[in-house]
């Protein structure tokens, strides 16, 4: 089955106002730059976005926030984005913060069909407010519920027409687990290759999890910050 979509707007054609979307990446590494820009261009609003963080003010998910297209963010870290802070303080953006390990496990549970899990992380803090808690063998645990989305937007290094995906180094991050936890997974890749040319041992997301795939372009791959040690610091 050929899952290749020729252009970005066709790939996201059925994403409408009010959709829940998972967006892969960690910081600005491994984010689906082209698909995010396509959402901006389409102008869909009132989105619920599940992602590790909120991007930069002028890049990644930060573009959706700047356009006020996001109604709610579910994330683990949002400290690099001033626009995010302003929207939350003004009441224009809802936020659900989840510890990073808990966030990825909630997504994994959503993909695996697990109804929930208990974790000691967050017990006794605001992260556990209004959540069920239990104690086993003298240790306290918090019940966390799974996360799923209507759409997952993921980024891979290489992919084929069947949707098999290969990631590159740390750009893998949240992308594979999010691909399992959505009704429709849309993948953008840096290189679209012939079916059968990928080494099966390198495929981290099998095509069964991917409904649409397209080749991206003009990747900026921006770093959030770059600091080089001076000779004095190294001495």
Where are the domains positioned within the chain?
Answer: 8-114+146-215
Residue-wise pLDDT tens digits, 148-190: 999 999 999 999 999 999 999 999 999 999 999 999 999 999 9
- If one counts every other C-beta atom within 10 angstroms of the C-beta of residue 114, the result is 13
With a pLDDT cut of 70, the percent of the chain lying above it is: 95
Among residues 101, 135, 141, which one has the least CA distance to residue 123? 141
CB-based contacts of 87, cutoff 8 Å, min separation 6: 65, 68, 93
pTM (predicted TM-score): 0.91
Specify the DSSP element, H or E, that contains 89. Answer: helix 82-89
What's the rounded Cα separation, in Å, for the pair 200 and 213? 18
Fold of 8-114+146-215: Glutaconate Coenzyme A-transferase (3.40.1080)
Indicate the range of 46-50, 137-141, 169-173, 215-219 predicted with least confidence. 215-219
- If one compares 219 and 3, the residue with the highest pLDDT of the two is 3
What's the rounded Cα separation, in Å, for the pair 21 and 19? 6
What's the rounded Cα separation, in Å, for the pair 159 and 67? 31
pLDDT of 56? 85
Residue 96 in 3-state DSSP?
Answer: strand
Dihedrals φ, ψ of 207, to 5°?
A: -60, -20
């Amino acid at each position: 089955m050929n899952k290749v979509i020729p252009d970005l707007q066709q790939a996201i054609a059925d994403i409408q106002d009010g959709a829940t979307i998972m967006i892969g990446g960690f910081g600005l590494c491994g984010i689906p730059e082209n698909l995010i820009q396509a959402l901006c261009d389409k102008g869909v609003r009132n989105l619920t976005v599940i992602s590790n963080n909120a991007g930069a003010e002028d890049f990644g998910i930060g573009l959706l926030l700047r356009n006020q297209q996001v109604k709610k963010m579910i994330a683990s870290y949002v400290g690099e984005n001033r626009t995010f802070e302003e929207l939350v303080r003004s009441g224009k953006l809802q936020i659900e913060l989840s510890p990073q390990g808990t966030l990825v496990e909630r997504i994994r549970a959503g993909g695996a069909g697990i109804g929930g899990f208990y974790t000691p992380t967050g017990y006794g803090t605001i992260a556990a407010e209004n959540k069920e808690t239990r104690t086993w063998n003298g240790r306290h645990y918090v019940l966390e519920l799974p996360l799923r989305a209507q759409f997952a937007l993921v980024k891979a290094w290489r992919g084929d027409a069947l949707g098999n995906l290969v990631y590159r180094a740390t750009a893998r991050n949240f992308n594979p687990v999010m691909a399992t936890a959505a009704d429709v997974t849309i993948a953008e890749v840096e290189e679209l290759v012939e079916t059968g040319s990928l080494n099966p041992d390198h495929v981290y997301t099998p095509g069964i999890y991917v409904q649409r795939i397209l080749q991206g372009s003009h990747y900026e791959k921006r770093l959030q910050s770059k600091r080089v040690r001076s000779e004095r610091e190294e001495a």
